[in-house]
Amino acid sequence: MKKGLFAGVFLGLALLVAPAAAEEPGVIRLGAAVSLTGKYSSNGAFTRKGYDLAVTKINEAGGVTVAGKPYRLEVIYYDDESTPARGAQLVERLIQQDKVQYLLGPYSSGLTEAIAPVTEKYGVPMVEANGAAISLFRKGYRYLFAVLSTTDEYLRGAVDIAARLSDDPAKLRVAMAFENDPFSQDVRDGVLADMKRHGMKVVVDDKLPPELNDMSATLSKVKALRPDLMLISGHDKGASLAIRQFADQRVNVPMLALTHCDSARIAENFGPAAEYALCAAQWASTLTYADDLFGSASDYARLYEETYGEVAPYQAAESSAAVQVYADAFERAKSLDPEDVRNALAETQMMTFYGRIEFDETGKNIAKPTVLFQVQDGQYVVVYPEEFAEAKIRWPTPPWSER
């Protein structure tokens, strides 16, 4: 009974796939398992919108030409329900049943980590745009490429600015509150090395539990110890909670830097309470990067807003860039063999609206720095790196009694 059912489904699929392949020879199919339901559903949706926007744009511009023959791009999506096991299972299905030979990444490091062993096993290249954990690139994966900056880079800019603004960086005292998950702990590891190099002193080093709904214990400590710099990373929830409780508890710190404050929309949601906060981000629409397909970063942001009616988040931008990387690699590989495409990917050297993309031997992008925004008068303004900055950093943050 069960066997018969499987055979039936398989036959059905084969019948569906076979004529389609025969009629439309010029289609390159990419596959992706993204989170459309579950806890990553909003960021999963951004990821998909980013992929779709790039695919549409590339197809409108004539598709990709591989060894003289034009091809259209197409993406097969599955919903991984934000669970790693499901993601791995679906990727197996994409490769085995749907015969997809090139994968786009899922949303989040956790899911990428679950999927990478599968793509590695089948020798299928995966260009991912939303798994930034540095641990992904310490496992010697050959078919994994990431267009974004890795997690350890996220808050290094804040440490760098703090050191530059201070007369004696060795005197700086730092408070840290990082969620106890791989992403945030990677961010922590990234800044620790820099702080040690500058001789900064860590006065608070709290690990926020993932179920945390209140951080007043940490903030009371910060109030007592008066550090010069506070670093926080705990996804959208951590950023929102930190901004809310910094204001409620009137915590005075000259510089506060966080991750995820743009996806948590702190400036929109918290108004004046979010002022002066520094936010690490992969990309900003005000950066001066540009390419031939989308134009400049701000052109991309405009197109995204026209298409989807919302402001372009960096999760969508990097996802679009991943598709561009594939298109570029197909053309340079002059072949659709996954191994040739993989080798072409490894030699990628391109400028995109999202930033420069060049992979090192572990597959991570080493050509693009992370940026820091500061919330200034309700706007996210790029203040770091200085060569791309729109405005100077406002520092130090005045105490609450003067705000």
Partner 1 sequence: MLDNLALLVQFPAVTVDVVVNGLLIGAIFALAAYGMALVWGVLNIVNVVQGELVVLGGYVTFLLVQAGMPPLLGLPVSAVVMFGVGWVIYRAIVFRVVDKDVFISILATFGLAILIQQLANLSFGADVRSVDAGLGSAYFLDGMVTVAWVKLIAFVLALVAGAALWLFLRHARLGQAIRATAQNPRAARILGIDTGRVYAATYALNAALCGAAGSLAVMAWTIHPYMGLPYTVRSFMVVVVAGVGNVGAVVAAGLGLGALENVAGFVLGTEFQIAFVFALMVAILVWRHGRAARRREHLK
Q: Give the interface with partner 1 as residue ranges (CB under 8 A).
A: 37-43, 177, 180, 205-209, 211-218, 220-221, 223-225, 236-237, 239-241, 244-245, 247-250, 252, 264-265, 269-271, 273, 400-401
- Short-list 296, 277, 249, 262, CA closest to 394: 277
Q: Cβ closer to partner 1: 2 or 213?
A: 213
Three-class SS state of 70 = strand
In the complex, minimum distance from the CB of residue 197 to partner 1, in angstroms, rounded to a whole number: 24
Q: Which two tokens stand for residue 351?
A: 């400028």
Give residue 109's identity as a one-letter amino acid code. S
- Classify 286 in phi/psi space as left (phi over 0), alpha (psi -120 to 50) or beta: alpha
Cβ neighbours, 10 Å, residue 245:
17
In the complex, minimum distance from the CB of residue 187 to partner 1, in angstroms, rounded to a whole number: 16
Q: Cβ closer to partner 1: 184 or 348?
A: 184
Name the CA dihedral angle for 225, 231, 234, 237, rounded to a multiple of 10 degrees. Answer: 80
Residues 6+ apart with CB under 8 A from 117: 88
Q: Cβ closer to partner 1: 6 or 400?
A: 400
- Short-list 91, 86, 103, 87, CA closest to 143: 103
Q: Cβ closer to partner 1: 208 or 381?
A: 208
In the complex, minimum distance from the CB of residue 146 to partner 1, in angstroms, rounded to a whole number: 23
- The answer to whether residues 219 and 246 touch, using CB atoms and an 8 Å cutoff, is yes
Q: Cβ closer to partner 1: 166 or 245?
A: 245
Q: Cβ closer to partner 1: 218 or 376?
A: 218
In the complex, minimum distance from the CB of residue 77 to partner 1, in angstroms, rounded to a whole number: 17
Q: Cβ closer to partner 1: 276 or 359?
A: 276
What's the sign of the alpha-carbon dihedral 377, 380, 381, 386?
positive
In the complex, minimum distance from the CB of residue 175 to partner 1, in angstroms, rounded to a whole number: 12
- Short-list 141, 138, 70, CA closest to 103: 141
Print burial letters for 1-11: b (CB count within 10 Å at least 16), e (below 16).
Answer: eeeeeeeeeee
In the complex, minimum distance from the CB of residue 377 to partner 1, in angstroms, rounded to a whole number: 18
In the complex, minimum distance from the CB of residue 177 to partner 1, in angstroms, rounded to a whole number: 7
Count of positions (residues) in the chain = 403
- The answer to whether residues 82 and 39 touch, using CB atoms and an 8 Å cutoff, is yes
Q: Cβ closer to partner 1: 23 or 402?
A: 402
In the complex, minimum distance from the CB of residue 314 to partner 1, in angstroms, rounded to a whole number: 16
In the complex, minimum distance from the CB of residue 282 to partner 1, in angstroms, rounded to a whole number: 19
Side-chain-facing half-sphere of 237: CA atoms under 13 Å: 14
Q: Cβ closer to partner 1: 111 or 393?
A: 111
